[in-house]
Structure 1
Amino acid sequence: MSGNGIAAGASALAGKRVLVTGASGFLGRALFPRLHAQGARLRGFMRTAPLSFESEAETEIRLGDIADAAAVREAVRGVAAVVHLAALASVPDSLRDPAPFFRTNVAGTFNLLDACRNSGVERLVYVSSSQVYGPPRGGAIAEDHPLEPATPYAGSKAAAEMLVRCHQRAYGLATVILRPFNIYGPGQSRAALIPTIVTQALEGGDLRLGRVDITRDLTFVADVADAIVRALASPAAVGGTFNIGSGRGVTVGALAQTILDQIGSRAAILSDAGRIRGHESAGEAVIANADLAAVRLDWRASTTLEEGLRRTVAAYRNDHR
């Protein structure tokens, strides 16, 4: 990543009030220190009492539900820019009970957009998901790949993207859409892929996973946070939709073996039929083409998978003691 891009981001965000919805989540906790380092004045909006932030002394905390329009309007008042992270994100939960996903991810996004257009917000960055693409059609996925969401979660994120786009076109709200591929790092929910592997490995015994032949593009959480900072600051970002991924794929089996090697375990890697998700096809490869982000955001993932896994394993090892 270019040092010039970081300098530009610092000058663009210095002194500005930035609202982050879903601020107490995995990505929000990684983003806050980076925004603070750029000189932003921070406000977090979340449903439950927050975990501590590095910049807590200079952070306003607002508690509320993104589906509560009045609470959202109050949170948006007086801010220059917004990062929208608040969402329900569990694919299995969305398959079991889709209604809350549309309430939070679609209606909640509308509430935020409506508040932004009526409050003079300069820019909104919406963090979507690579899940909106659905089954890949072959090769690395670029932003012009058809949107064919295969789960209620993915459908809710695609619907929210449409709302973001129409608010830019209809009302002139400056927006940016980011589509991260698989994010990982310390502090992630234990239900996610890498925490599942690490936790099982630390507990001993064989690993029981779902499909081990599928390929995923993994991006370290700190790199995704840096992409968000660039999306907030770069003039070239406005109106764009950007894949955020490493552009490199790894099978779940190879990923698990790397983690076992780092931990020093000789456990077997087993594919458990009970853990296989119906929307994932055998041999499926979901890999980002992130060239557009490189050109317009001056962003590329800079943390190697090996280094990111070392940092993640170390964090979970400390927690496991």
Structure 2
Amino acid sequence: MPAPARILITGAGGFVGTYLRRALASRWPAASIIAGTADMTDPIAVTAMIEAAQPDVVVHLAGIASVPAARAAPDAAFAVNLGGSLAVARALLAVAPDSVMVHAGSAECYGDSFRAGTALDEQAPFAPLNIYAASKAAADLALGAMAAESRLRLVRFRPFNHTGPGQSDAFVIPAFAAQIRAISEDRQPPVIRVGNLDAARDFLDVRDVVGAYSLAIEHRDDLPLNPVFNLASGVPRRIGDILDAMIAASGKDIAIEIDPSRLRPVDIPTAFGNPAAARRILFWHPTIPFEDTLRAMLQAAPTPEPR
């Protein structure tokens, strides 16, 4: 299969985009990796961006990326996450119809379906429980419908929680790491403020997630029609156990205090996924030990995530 010559990434300056740019440049050093900078709420600008780039593949990462940010600006969440995704798809159909769209969705879309207590596969119904999840579910479903009714070449991913150095401390593990570093540097009293520690989630290293995106690009001409892939480890990890491991690794005597402002209005006890489709079709599986991810995060400062 020919290597991609031109890959456009929306949201290339964000947390995942930064890792993806490095991964693609390493995998295909001769390819042009193009950072898409158009305003996702401006369809004319999005179309002009794609027409100018004429990419083989568009990896659509741009979006409002956290539950609190979407809750604070629900109209913007839908405008960017749904409207921006539709703008990219329509632009591809209009000016680059042979391109493949790789869409980064979210396992948050499954929401209330996680109450079944089993590892969910791609057939599980969407039942979003927050604005972020609803906006991502709307985009996922709308793109799937467009692909069914048009020539849109689409690969949809639904990654579970993924983390790594450089992630915004709006997310749970970077928030723990930031507080532990502050305590270690005597910038904070030895108390960590936390939300719900009993919830269990399925975590991946961000490098494993971008590895899946790379595999989708590599096999883009061999994939089934408009496939959908969960990206998950299949292992739920209790948030409190993750924090305990990080505190132990720090070597500090640190107390834990519940912060009501960090609690979600609705929280699912356990959420984890079944990655069998990605394993079978993309030959993908997580390769980075979670302990290595936590160790790296304790050593690196988080950064604000671009919106």
Question: Scaled by the length of structure 1, what TM-score is found?
Answer: 0.86
Distance 1:12 1:298, change over 3 A: farther
Q: Which residue of 1 aligns with 2:270?
A: 285
Distance 1:86 1:80 in 2: 18
- Quote how far apart the aligned CAs of 1:68 are: 1.0
Q: Which residue of 1 aligns with 2:233?
A: 246
2:19 corresponds to 1:30: yes
Q: Which residue of 1 aligns with 2:156?
A: 177
Q: Which residue of 2 aligns with 1:156?
A: 135
Distance 1:270 1:140 in 2: 31
2:198 corresponds to 1:213: yes
Q: Which residue of 1 aligns with 2:282?
A: 297
Say if 2:102 and 2:157, in contact at 8 Å, map to a contact too: yes
1:149 match: secondary structure: coil
Distance 2:157 2:258 in 1: 32
2:69 corresponds to 1:69: no
Select which of 176, 194, 201 maps to 2:180. Answer: 201
Distance 1:211 1:227 in 2: 30
Q: Which runs of 4+ in 1 moved over 6 A?
A: none
2:70 corresponds to 1:81: no
Q: Which residue of 2 aligns with 1:134?
A: 111
Distance 1:237 1:270 in 2: 49
1:316 match: secondary structure: coil
Deviations 1:217-249 (A, max 9, x none): 110011111000111222225411111111112
Say if 2:202 and 2:234, in contact at 8 Å, map to a contact too: yes
- Quote how far apart the aligned CAs of 1:192 are: 1.0
Which runs of 5 or more residues in structure 1 are unaligned?
1-10, 46-62
Distance 1:241 1:43 in 2: 25
2:253 corresponds to 1:266: yes
Select which of 89, 92, 99 maps to 2:68. Answer: 92
Distance 2:257 2:107 in 1: 27
2:32 corresponds to 1:41: yes
Deviations 1:87-122 (A, max 9, x none): 012212322331001111111111110001112242
Q: Which residue of 2 aligns with 1:20?
A: 9
1:13 match: secondary structure: coil
2:174 corresponds to 1:189: no
- Quote how far apart the aligned CAs of 1:167 are: 2.1
Say if 2:246 and 2:298, in contact at 8 Å, map to a contact too: yes
Say if 2:10 and 2:59, in contact at 8 Å, map to a contact too: yes
Q: Which residue of 2 aligns with 1:112?
A: 88
Deviations 1:273-299 (A, max 9, x none): 332111214xx1111111111001110
2:285 corresponds to 1:306: no
Distance 1:308 1:237 in 2: 32
2:77 corresponds to 1:101: yes
1:243 match: secondary structure: strand
Q: Which residue of 1 aligns with 2:187?
A: none
Deviations 1:25-77 (A, max 9, x none): 000000011111222321111xxxxxxxxxxxxxxxxx321111121112112
One-letter code of the match for 1:33?
A: R
1:207 match: secondary structure: strand
- Quote how far apart the aligned CAs of 1:253 are: 0.5
One-letter code of the match for 1:184?
A: T
Question: Scaled by the length of structure 2, what TM-score is found?
Answer: 0.90
One-letter code of the match for 1:97?
A: A
2:102 corresponds to 1:125: yes
1:213 match: secondary structure: coil
Which runs of 5 or more residues in structure 2 are unaligned?
184-189, 303-307
One-letter code of the match for 1:84?
A: H
Query: What is the percentage of aligned positions where both structures have the same residue?
Result: 31
Distance 1:34 1:314 in 2: 21
Corresponding residue pairs, total: 287
Distance 2:153 2:55 in 1: 14
Distance 1:68 1:129 in 2: 23
One-letter code of the match for 2:128?
A: P
1:191 match: secondary structure: coil
